[in-house]
Structure 1
Amino acid sequence: MPGENLTRVEAQERAALIRTHSYDVTLDLTRGSETFLSTTTVRFSAEAGASTFIDAITRTVHSVTLNGAELDPAQVSDGVRIQLDGLAAENELTVVADAIYTNTGEGLHRFVDPVDGEVYLYSQFEVPDSRRMFAVFEQPDLKAEFTFTVTAPAHWVVVSNSPTPQPVDAGDDAKTWSFPATSRISSYITALIAGPYDSVHSELTSSDGRTIPLGVYTRKSLSEYLDADYIFDKTREGFAFYEEKFDYAYPFEKYDQLFVPEFNAGAMENAGAVTFTETYVFRSKVTDAIKERRVVTILHELAHMWFGDLVTMKWWNDLWLNESFAEYASTLATAEATEWTEAWTTFAAMEKSWAYKQDQLPSTHPIVATINDLEDVQVNFDGITYAKGASVLKQLVAWVGQDDFLAGVAKYFKKHEHSNTELRDLLVELEATSGRDLTDWAAKWLETAGVNTLRPEIAVDADGTITSFAVLQTAAADYPTIRPHRLAIGFYNLVDGALVREHRLELDVDGERTEVAELVGQKRPALVLLNDDDLAYAKIRLDEDSLAVAIEHLAKIESPLARSLVWGAAWDATRDAETPASDYVRLVLGNIATETESTTIRTTLSQLALAAGSYVAPERQQATAEEAASALWALAQQAEAGSDAQFQFVKFFAALASTDEHLAAIAALRDGSTTLPGLTVDTDLAWELLIALVAGGAAGQDEIAAALAADNTANGAQFAAQASASIPTLEGKQAAWDSVFATDSAPNAIVRYTGLGFQRAADKSVLAAFVAPYFEALQGVWESRSYKIAEYLVAGMYPAPLANAELRDATRAWLDANQEPAALRRLVVENLAGVERAIAAQERDAQ
């Protein structure tokens, strides 16, 4: 990573000197497995006589020609940048270089399918990695037209941002594809996907009457599982929704969606050529939560075609706005344009819980973060960027009104099409359509960090009539901002066995105390729910009486969204060590059986596992985990046949299983001697059950090898890596450690899955041996690995399950001794925060 950074000051200076016009990029992908030939001709204006540089991460630069003059590559290139001096008013630069394929999911990623030996390529350029494929002024505000010409094996398919042309013969069993120029876009949303992909095609009619070709692509060995028709249906629903709400026709010529292997993210918004993780191609049964998340992701990336691709931020400090808008818009579209009508419940259960967690870390930051360089972007690409930003946009929509918000967005697209903007450009349009001055709102919500907590304060007389009602607002000591909130208060009572809302009040809350006179004189309900409908971004607490009702009757709350808010409030109080983790475990096990929303189940069971394994007092953790696993197995046996709940109870039972009885049940389920009505133990579930057996010491390398032989696929290899790393012995953990630290050849997906297995340990003491080696390795990893691989190692191989004072103290000691680099420190600080929170929760549980 050293030497590859770019500072904001450098970007501003470069943007002041030059204006880019066009790139002609010619790539030869037939030259072997390590490098490809990249020839770039870029045309740009400049301040005459000025000097600047172009970005190009290369193995070898063969030639650099500036305005007809040959420059000595040895003098002007260091493998990361090429220095350009004595520029003319109009310039033409040609760079010929060998660029490097990666296996890290950054730049041009190369993957070999173990099923058939076929090679598949795809690009991933956000944030700074188009420079790994061609020479480029790598910053979002230097937009240009891009023309790609690609020579590749004749049997391949080649896809880019522009419509795919008919290829011409290039000899030696190769063909050349010459793509038409793109519109003016930023380099990070250019794309190249190449290989023998299978595809399905369709089309739709845009609101301006154009026919938009649609394509869905996946590897040949996965194509039998591709449900293209459903993906096309959701895409059409998204197109219709966005074109109406944005009042702007789709801005590109075609729309391809490509599911690619070993992808680091959920998806990437390349203009007209969106890439997705191929885990969204379902070869085995998945939860409804995953099915819904795929729809949200499809609509998230589609929203980016307008917000991010058509109009792009000037610098990465506004990356949050790109991602937050797409997350908000995709949830809105999912709820209003698809069958997933409870999308806002999903948002509350998953996105907001992520946001609250991220916002309480020592590394939290304002939504509008200070981004001094590319490393700042990488570490701030987080739950604040996505989830808190989207939550705050939802609050803004409640503040200004949805119709006025969308009208302002539509004006923003028209005014700034094909250009770059800053946050203020959007706020100007929202102020114009809503009539609200957003200066104070933006300062308090976007320029400060931390999450507020809201509590009701209720007084009643002898017959239960409310005599006073106030909303109290507090802030963390380190982030003391008190903010304005638009929220609703719901009154819930038991009616015919259900807890239903009988009154709702929407109001503005500001200051440390907000009196709510409108509720005085009403009968106190069974349950008072602050932030009903989840308009505001804030942690909520239930008053004592409401909490007792919620715990007793949580399953009877009629509204899925209200249930999600109560689940969330209970978890927040547990994480904050206000209530014992053991109480949360009992709450979950007593109420989860009747929960209907898949994402709420998934989130809640994940939190159950963390509470049982790390937040309960250490002396009770083993017994609690055993109790939880046994309860989940009982729930799985009692659940509706073939239901999503049954499936999730089995999966989380496997994740928590530890006793001989548990392992025997899992082995029987896996080999078919025990069955559950409606449950099929398919390929992926069989792997999860095997991993549970390995982690419990009831299976080992022989069983892993047999399973991999039966599933010799990329998915199989990843599961096998996780299983091997789950072996619960010191020797097993050491082998997993060596497989990612002692060699740098493992691809990104294998590194990530190895971390998942490494952290799995029923007897956590086996991980104690890795505390010192972990800290000894950190600086070397950061210096020698790509950012994403380093992140996977720093986070995934941290022995977090120990969650004890020894790990805390060792982490603090490393931080005291290592003040740089800041990006690495942040990852370690976040690791430490998890341990400190666990210790605090353990101490509370022990009281």
Structure 2
Amino acid sequence: MASLTRDEARARAELLTVDSYDLLIDLQDLREGSTLQVWSEITFVARRAGETFVDIVAEQVEATLDGQLLDTSGYDGARLPLTVTPGIHRLSVHSTTTRTSERAGIHRVVDPGDGEPYVWTSFEPDDARRVFACFDQPDLKSTFQLQVVAPAAWTVASNTPAEKVGDLPDDARVWAFGRTPKLSTYLVVVCAGPFHEVRRQVPGAPEGGTYDLGLLARKSLAGYLDEQADELFDLTAKGLAFFGERFGMPFPQSQYTQVFCPDFQGAMENWGCVTWMDSFVFRAAPTATERELRAIILLHEMAHMWFGDIVTMRWWDDLWLNESFADWAAVWATAETTEFTGAWASFLGNRKEAGYTADRSPATHPIRQDVPTVEAAKAAFDMVTYAKGASVLRQLTVYAGEDDFVAGLGTHFERHAFDNATLEDLLESVGSSSGRELGQWAKEWLLTAGTDTLTLQAEAEDGRYTAVRVLVEPPAQYPAQRPHRLGLGVYDVDGEPRRRELLDLEVSGPSTDVPQLVGAPVADLLLLNDGDRTFARVRPDDAWLAALLEFGARLPDPVSRALVRLTLWHLVDDGRLAAREVVRYVVGALAVETEASVREGLLRTGVAAVLDWSGPADAVAGGNELARACLDLAVRVAPTDPATRLSALQAALAVASDADLLAELDELVGDDVDLRWRWLTRRAATGNYDEQAVADLLARDPDPDASSRAVAVRAARPEVEAKEEVWQAVIVERSVPLQAYLAVGRAFWDPAHAAVLERFAARYLDVLARLGEGGMTAALATVRQLFPRHGVDADFPRRATELASADDVSPLVRNQVTEAASTLERMLRARGLV
């Protein structure tokens, strides 16, 4: 299937403007069958005579242009050729497809809990064509009016409020939705099924009106959604108020709906109707981090209403204008307007860390990159675009000044509302408000790949500094002169560390002096990039490292403590520090850490160090040491902090192997269903699979997706037959929901099962070329969460990278496999296997 090229998109945009879409979407057969019928009417204007095409992926297509039947013999299954004359045209296309269960464009899924079907669409970047005929590119924005025919018992949600719902024969209804503002095709959505719906009115809409907020989830999750609705509505209302005020433009539609969809991955920012993976309707008590992550994702998708929906990139090379901004804005809003005030520490320890990993991969690229085709655009949905881009935007807020930066965004939205914009447009708006010339800044930060390494050089005599310098080293393959605005924390230790001062530095060039410290008493610790304002790897010398290990866990500011953990982890990643040293640091830090976001980062790092970065002996010893620390933490906080108790027990259940520890965990887990699944998974991993216990837990677990938890338990077994069964279900049959891939993948690739896993690592390479089938989100989940980490030899990363480079591998899979293989190579080195 041909992928639209940038040149083709430019030519079509030069030829056409699109006025409107009127769509009739018939979902009736999807109650039990697989057939989708759609009638698309497009009104467009041709500036001159020419040849072009409309995008539609279907098995059957009939079309008329200006009332005249079109010859469809040239239709290739994806493009219907058009010959146009100057002026207004009306194109009508009737399309039929049965590809409605492939997780691409449109997906029909049956709830395993009650057998009810649900249908959702998700179109980014070019899957609108799988549902309706369209000019499927972001710069041909248009208005859309949808009518959806569905079974009478179903609820249908779309971008705008339903203006009318009418009964039809054969137990059906037609839902007529209001016309949208000008949108790109990928932002249109339809969700349908016997949803449970909760709605609430909140103030804040334009002209003193109210917002009509909606939450939808499948019926089997109704009780969970009802329990969590207050929190979700509260976050939504706060976000709409915050963004509307700070961007100088309230969300201009009265209705804002969020639909939690089964067998979905991630979330999608459809105008006025956000879709989510429904694992975010929690089935068990959440940890603090899970609640915070849900808040950040909610605000990320909401920020897209401005970054991406109201103002849309012209082409996919500016995808970062959507995703980097939404990532930055989400954390900014979370820290400013919710209870999760430690969101920037969480960002550093999770999202930003992923950005550093992606940027050191051979597959890295500039934040704003060259994207010649839409297929190549799919590869851009990575942590360089998201996390590094958001980190760089945070650096820009410091460099330009936050108030001026936000004022520039308001100007940007006002100038380009419901239109398209580019990097140059944004720089003009922010530059005019801040007084900064941003062309060179953009060249170094947005148009050049790679991460700088920062070091400190300090000289002293008689206990006082005679010189202090910040040294900046860009990667050799990506030379740059990035300006850094950052903090330098100066710490003295008298019992406990105390920050003497926080210096605000503007660093440029390979070396920048710090004259403020000349003559000052030598500190016990200097912490570079304190406050985590810039995107750079910080490399301490031996004395600095010793101070970090000794004092880092007790620094007074949580972001500083999070930065210490990340700095130590980068040393492991660089091969300069053994994973066991980080495990020891984590164990000590857990005893004193008080901030939930920092504690969660410690737990995550400790588990990763044990499971993926330690040699076999260190993995067993370190795992049990970490599990003991987690048990102690869980017991200590149990009476007052159930969320921390929960996260500590989850971490312990990921790494414990000692029989006595597992017995203690058995008692602490008690009747908690989620923890009991984790306990059964860990027991199975140590060779103690209990089939009856799994059956009993399935019987009492009210989660309609509990069968996926049973798959993870089977995946953890060290027997070839058990792993073969899971391999068939996940890789061959694709019968396991995407949201289960993370737990199943972690259980499957257990470090203690290396000998059993060798055959499956080889088979992963055999199917690698086909991992791009089944839609973008499925491919991302399969590579990111199921890539082999154990059962591999030293040559495996090279073979994986080589196979991913083949012409028949999608750019998305190539990018993700290359990054995963690069990380695996460093893991193997850390384990002493290379």
Q: How does 1:130-209 map to 2 (within 5 A)?
A: 130-203=128-201, 204-209=203-208
Correspondence for 1:216: 215
Q: Structure 1: give runs of 5+ residues left out of the alignment.
A: 673-680
Deviates more, 1:692-701 or 1:28-37: 692-701
Indicate whether 1:389 and 2:389 are aligned: yes
Indicate whether 1:722 and 2:720 are aligned: no
Give the secondary-structure state (helix, strand or coil) at the position aligned to 2:28. coil
Provide, for residues 658-705 of structure 1, a one-character-per-residue CA deviation record: whole Å limited to 9, x for no partner. Answer: 2333443444445x3xxxxxxxx4322222222112222212444434
Contact conserved, 2:630 with 2:652, CA < 8 A, in 1?
yes
* TM-score, reference length from structure 2: 0.95
CA change 1:121–1:830 in 2 (3 A) is: same
Correspondence for 1:676: none
CA change 1:786–1:753 in 2 (3 A) is: farther
Indicate whether 1:682 and 2:672 are aligned: yes
Q: Using the alignment, how far apart are the partners of 1:695 and 1:826 within structure 2?
A: 31
How far apart are 1:370 and its partner, in Å? 1.1
Deviates more, 1:738-747 or 1:501-510: 738-747
Contact conserved, 1:295 with 1:334, CA < 8 A, in 2?
yes
Contact conserved, 1:101 with 1:107, CA < 8 A, in 2?
no
Contact conserved, 2:258 with 2:273, CA < 8 A, in 1?
yes
How far apart are 1:366 and its partner, in Å? 0.3
Q: Using the alignment, how far apart are the partners of 2:343 and 2:702 within structure 1?
A: 36
CA change 1:708–1:60 in 2 (3 A) is: farther
Q: How does 1:421-432 map to 2 (within 5 A)?
A: 421-432=421-432
How far apart are 1:648 and its partner, in Å? 1.6
Amino acid at match of 2:310: L
Provide, for residues 793-847 of structure 1, a one-character-per-residue CA deviation record: whole Å limited to 9, x for no partner. Answer: 4444432223541434543564687785544333332232122111332349x9x
How far apart are 1:439 and its partner, in Å? 0.8
Indicate whether 1:704 and 2:694 are aligned: yes
CA change 1:298–1:136 in 2 (3 A) is: same
Amino acid at match of 1:281: V
Contact conserved, 2:730 with 2:736, CA < 8 A, in 1?
yes
Deviates more, 1:329-338 or 1:423-432: 329-338
Q: Using the alignment, how far apart are the partners of 1:785 and 1:104 within structure 2?
A: 5
Provide, for residues 509-565 of structure 1, a one-character-per-residue CA deviation record: whole Å limited to 9, x for no partner. Answer: 011111111111111222211111111111113344343233223332111111011
Q: What RMSD, in angstroms, separates the aligned Cα atoms of the two structures?
A: 2.3
Q: Using the alignment, how far apart are the partners of 2:666 and 2:150 within structure 1?
A: 47
How far apart are 1:740 and its partner, in Å? 3.1
Give the secondary-structure state (helix, strand or coil) at the position aligned to 2:678. helix
Correspondence for 2:648: 649
Contact conserved, 1:551 with 1:587, CA < 8 A, in 2?
yes
Q: Using the alignment, how far apart are the partners of 2:793 and 2:628 within structure 1?
A: 26
Give the secondary-structure state (helix, strand or coil) at the position aligned to 1:380. coil
Q: Using the alignment, how far apart are the partners of 1:104 and 1:287 within structure 2?
A: 33
How far apart are 1:635 and its partner, in Å? 3.6
Q: Using the alignment, how far apart are the partners of 2:553 and 2:91 within structure 1?
A: 66
Give the secondary-structure state (helix, strand or coil) at the position aligned to 2:108. strand
Contact conserved, 1:114 with 1:712, CA < 8 A, in 2?
no
Deviates more, 1:809-818 or 1:113-122: 809-818
Correspondence for 1:494: 493
How far apart are 1:467 and its partner, in Å? 1.0
Give the secondary-structure state (helix, strand or coil) at the position aligned to 2:29. coil
Q: Using the alignment, how far apart are the partners of 1:796 and 1:282 within structure 2?
A: 20
Give the secondary-structure state (helix, strand or coil) at the position aligned to 2:505. strand
Correspondence for 2:583: 585
Contact conserved, 2:358 with 2:819, CA < 8 A, in 1?
no
CA change 1:248–1:747 in 2 (3 A) is: same
Contact conserved, 2:104 with 2:774, CA < 8 A, in 1?
no
Q: Using the alignment, how far apart are the partners of 1:9 and 1:717 within structure 2?
A: 47
Percent identity reads: 37
Correspondence for 1:677: none
CA change 1:606–1:751 in 2 (3 A) is: closer
Provide, for residues 329-387 of structure 1, a one-character-per-residue CA deviation record: whole Å limited to 9, x for no partner. Answer: 22222222222222222222222111111111111110001111122211110111111
Indicate whether 1:324 and 2:314 are aligned: no
Q: Using the alignment, how far apart are the partners of 1:119 and 1:745 within structure 2?
A: 15
CA change 1:235–1:826 in 2 (3 A) is: closer
Correspondence for 2:831: 842
Provide, for residues 54-94 of structure 1, a one-character-per-residue CA deviation record: whole Å limited to 9, x for no partner. Answer: 11121322x11111111244x13222222212445211111
Provide, for residues 465-490 of structure 1, a one-character-per-residue CA deviation record: whole Å limited to 9, x for no partner. Answer: 11111001112222232311001111
CA change 1:393–1:71 in 2 (3 A) is: same
How far apart are 1:430 and its partner, in Å? 1.0
Contact conserved, 1:605 with 1:652, CA < 8 A, in 2?
yes
Q: Using the alignment, how far apart are the partners of 1:827 and 1:285 within structure 2?
A: 32
Correspondence for 1:472: 471
Amino acid at match of 2:819: E
Q: Using the alignment, how far apart are the partners of 2:476 and 2:143 within structure 1?
A: 49
Give the secondary-structure state (helix, strand or coil) at the position aligned to 2:818. helix
Out of 779, 785, 790, the residue aligned to residue 769 of structure 2 is: 779
CA change 1:212–1:470 in 2 (3 A) is: same
Q: How does 1:2-401 map to 2 (within 5 A)?
A: 3-32=1-30, 33-61=33-61, 63-73=62-72, 75-100=73-98, 102-203=100-201, 204-226=203-225, 227-265=228-266, 267-401=267-401
Contact conserved, 1:452 with 1:482, CA < 8 A, in 2?
no
Q: Using the alignment, how far apart are the partners of 1:150 and 1:548 within structure 2?
A: 65
Provide, for residues 210-229 of structure 1, a one-character-per-residue CA deviation record: whole Å limited to 9, x for no partner. Answer: 33222222222212122222
Q: Using the alignment, how far apart are the partners of 2:490 and 2:823 within structure 1?
A: 35
Give the secondary-structure state (helix, strand or coil) at the position aligned to 1:165. strand
Provide, for residues 200-259 of structure 1, a one-character-per-residue CA deviation record: whole Å limited to 9, x for no partner. Answer: 222223253233222222222212122222222222222222222111122223211222
Amino acid at match of 1:825: R
Q: Using the alignment, how far apart are the partners of 2:245 and 2:763 within structure 1?
A: 56
How far apart are 1:425 and its partner, in Å? 0.3
Correspondence for 2:635: 637
How far apart are 1:775 and its partner, in Å? 1.9
Correspondence for 1:664: 663
Q: Using the alignment, how far apart are the partners of 1:751 and 1:57 within structure 2?
A: 28
How far apart are 1:318 and its partner, in Å? 0.9
Q: Structure 2: give runs of 5+ residues left out of the alignment.
A: none
Contact conserved, 1:667 with 1:693, CA < 8 A, in 2?
no
Q: Using the alignment, how far apart are the partners of 2:136 and 2:374 within structure 1?
A: 11
Q: Using the alignment, how far apart are the partners of 1:593 and 1:314 within structure 2?
A: 51
* TM-score, reference length from structure 1: 0.93
How far apart are 1:152 and its partner, in Å? 0.8
CA change 1:794–1:566 in 2 (3 A) is: closer
Correspondence for 2:450: 450
Contact conserved, 1:717 with 1:750, CA < 8 A, in 2?
no
Deviates more, 1:223-232 or 1:437-446: 223-232
Correspondence for 1:802: 791
How far apart are 1:458 and its partner, in Å? 1.1
Indicate whether 1:411 and 2:401 are aligned: no
Contact conserved, 1:163 with 1:254, CA < 8 A, in 2?
yes
Give the secondary-structure state (helix, strand or coil) at the position aligned to 1:735. helix
Contact conserved, 1:100 with 1:132, CA < 8 A, in 2?
no
Q: Using the alignment, how far apart are the partners of 2:175 and 2:600 within structure 1?
A: 45
How far apart are 1:27 and its partner, in Å? 1.0
Amino acid at match of 1:493: D
Q: Using the alignment, how far apart are the partners of 1:813 and 1:243 within structure 2?
A: 48
Out of 612, 619, 622, the residue aligned to residue 621 of structure 1 is: 619
Correspondence for 1:748: 738
Q: Using the alignment, how far apart are the partners of 1:171 and 1:564 within structure 2?
A: 61
Q: Using the alignment, how far apart are the partners of 1:751 and 1:279 within structure 2?
A: 12
CA change 1:242–1:120 in 2 (3 A) is: same
CA change 1:765–1:567 in 2 (3 A) is: same
CA change 1:357–1:125 in 2 (3 A) is: same
Out of 555, 560, 563, the residue aligned to residue 562 of structure 1 is: 560
CA change 1:342–1:616 in 2 (3 A) is: same
Correspondence for 2:438: 438
Deviates more, 1:300-309 or 1:541-550: 541-550
Give the secondary-structure state (helix, strand or coil) at the position aligned to 1:258. strand
